[in-house]
Amino acid sequence: MAHFDHGAAALLPLAVAVPMLGASVMLALGRHVSRLVRDLFAIAIAAGVTGLSGYFLAVASSGRIVNWVATWTPLGHRSVGIVLEVDPMGAGIALLAAGLVTCALIFSLRYLESDTGHFHLLVLCFLAGMEGFALTGDLFDLFVFLELMGASAYALTAHNIEDPQALQGGLNFGIINSLGAYVSLMGIGLLYAKTGVLQLPLLGAKLAGHRPGPLVIAAFVLIFTGLLVKSGVVPFHFWLADAHAVAPAPVCMLFSAVMDPLGVYAAFRVYWTVFSPTIAPAHARVAFLSLGVATAVIGAVMCCAQRHIKRLLAYSTIAHVGLFFCALGLLREDGTAAAALYAAGHAGIKGALFLLCGMLLDRYGNVDELHLFGKGRGSPHLGLLFGLCGFALAGLPPFGLALGKALAEKAAIDQHLYWMVALFVLVSALTGGAVLRVTARVFLGLGDRPKGDAEYRAVGTERPPAQRLQALPAAALSAIGVLIAGTLALGVLPGARDAAERAAAAFIDRSGYLANALGHAGHQLAIAPSAPNWDLRGVLLGIASALLAAGFAAASCYGRRILVHVPALRLGTRAVLRALHRVHSGHIGDYVAWLMAGCAILAGLIGLPLR
């Protein structure tokens, strides 16, 4: 990819600087202006960054955009400068992040009660962290933006600071993610001590051709630990549901739709640019697929076991992160393209679901599906959207999520990994079925009527607003509509698959990434002939997932009647769920222990095949 656009390169720092400047203005003036002014100002900033990111994506489709800040360019393979290097994948994620922040702020016009600009300030800082995280080409700056994103996220989780449950969720989130970030910093230090550079492409060049000794393996494990904590990959996932349960709904949307997938993106960006020359794909693939399968299965089972709707959606995110990880873990161009489309489609649907959940809380003061049994009959529009999102989450064509799922299944079949196809169908059906179960119970009053425990409230929940919502706000509905329509457009617009495949080719092209960083022309990437988005097998598997999801939903609604006649199944199900709930204890010490265990597991998965 030999094309350079110096005008676009000069604008790259603005993607981070503009929201940070907006946050500074909000800090200085937020208390002195009306709520409407704060809302419109924050929305304008986010929309401006969205437009800027869209421009970067258009330019990056012709070639990478490279900016060595303050012209501190490398001499040979050494540099102390800071590089921003953007390919279509990074620009696409930056666009997704900015667009979702804009939708979250629009939804929040009537949702959050705030007399200051602190919420808007934190959201803009969070946006700056995500933009920098997606666009940077420097490993230490990746850590810096991870911390900026994290610090903002901790405060947003505990936005209702006077609520002890929100404070606990924010503390759990902050402690585990900060510990993961500091573990990553140790790995960065090891690499810097070995190579003397921090830029991603130069690090890869320094490690190329060398055997992965203990220091490199240790650095890999430590760096990946922090990124996998942010992603919510098993066994680093325990903080995620606790945080989603107490954070405001629009914040949950940002966490599930873009922050968690950003961690996955960064992990594979670091692998391809830094570690792939020394840790071959054949050795790394087993580790990545093992983590992906465990994450997908545990997330799906825990999703089906929840009655707190926000926790249900959080575990659904964990399950789908596992599927992203499996597709990327194939370490091939087709799997990477599938994961990109899958993550983009998931972002729209999961974002819409969290906003719908926020409207349920705003209207009924609760997000426990059994407490809400049948109460949603007066909100048919919400029920229709909830059900539509449930089928989309299950992989029903022609949504963009289903297109990514179909391409991932095709990539697995091409590698003769038929078990992965079954995994994608089953996990999609379980998570989509859980959402359809909520739809049936809450909005249609179907299934076994809850008995004495209907007033149960899960540990940790978002505080409902003081005044109940009487009518559906147009701004909130427009944000939800944009998210669903965007996901649908991703699946039906021609060229989506081609664009994803070109982005994937650039993403795994380490030599071109290095050449562009050094100011040279990278070799031109071959562009495959245009291919249709869909094939018959992908459509049929998507329909099968959706039908299976509907079956799971029906079985869940009438589960008591079924389990009464199958005692062994009832006892086995209870034993598995009891064990999983015991592991997900809510105790921060247990979560820290699992983080350390995860480091050891990752070290074993990577280190043993290399011996």
DSSP result, 381-404: HHHHHHHHHHHHHTT-TTSHHHHH
pLDDT at 559: 67
The model's confidence at residue 521, banded by pLDDT at 50, 70 and 90, is low
Residue type, 255: F
pLDDT at 244: 85
User: Would you tell me how many other CB atoms lie within 10 Å of the CB of residue 14?
Assistant: 14
Tokens 């940070």 locate to 20
Contact 250, 565 (CB under 8 A): no
- Structure tokens that stand for 370 in this block: 């059994």
As a whole number of angstroms, the distance between CA 589 and CA 559 comes to: 35
pLDDT digits (tens, 9 = 90+) for 137-151: 888 999 999 889 988
As a whole number of angstroms, the distance between CA 269 and CA 332 comes to: 13
- Structure tokens that stand for 602 in this block: 């990752």
The model's confidence at residue 3, banded by pLDDT at 50, 70 and 90, is very low
pLDDT digits (tens, 9 = 90+) for 60-109: 888 788 888 777 776 666 667 788 888 899 999 999 999 999 999 999 88
Tokens 């606790």 locate to 242
pLDDT at 264: 93
The per-residue b/e assignment along 428-440, b for 16 or more CB within 10 angstroms, e otherwise, is bbbbbbbbbbbbb
Q: How far apart are the first and last CA of the chain?
A: 37
As a whole number of angstroms, the distance between CA 417 and CA 409 comes to: 9
- Structure tokens that stand for 527 in this block: 């562009």
The model's confidence at residue 457, banded by pLDDT at 50, 70 and 90, is very low
pLDDT at 288: 93
Number of residues assigned to the chain: 611
Between 533 and 188, the higher pLDDT residue: 188
Q: Which residues contact 515 (CB under 8 A, 6 or more apart)?
A: 521, 522, 523
Enumerate the domain spans of the chain.
Answer: 6-520+531-610
Section 14-43 average pLDDT: 88
pLDDT at 242: 86
What is the chain's mean pLDDT, rounded?
85
- Whether a cis peptide bond, with omega within 30° of 0, leads into 398 is yes
As a whole number of angstroms, the distance between CA 391 and CA 195 comes to: 49
Residue type, 144: V
Radius of gyration of the chain (CA): 23
Q: Which residues contact 611 (CB under 8 A, 6 or more apart)?
A: none
As a whole number of angstroms, the distance between CA 226 and CA 347 comes to: 22
As a whole number of angstroms, the distance between CA 169 and CA 200 comes to: 34
pLDDT digits (tens, 9 = 90+) for 459-514: 556 665 655 556 667 888 888 999 999 999 998 988 888 888 888 988 888 877 77
Give residue 447's region: left, alpha or beta (phi > 0; psi -120 to 50). left
Q: Minimum mean pLDDT among 123-127, 288-292, 473-477, 504-508: which range? A: 473-477
pLDDT at 196: 85
Q: What share of residues in the chain are helix, strand, coil (percent, to 5)? A: 75, 0, 25
pTM: 0.91
- CA-closest candidate to residue 258, choices 335, 354, 166: 354
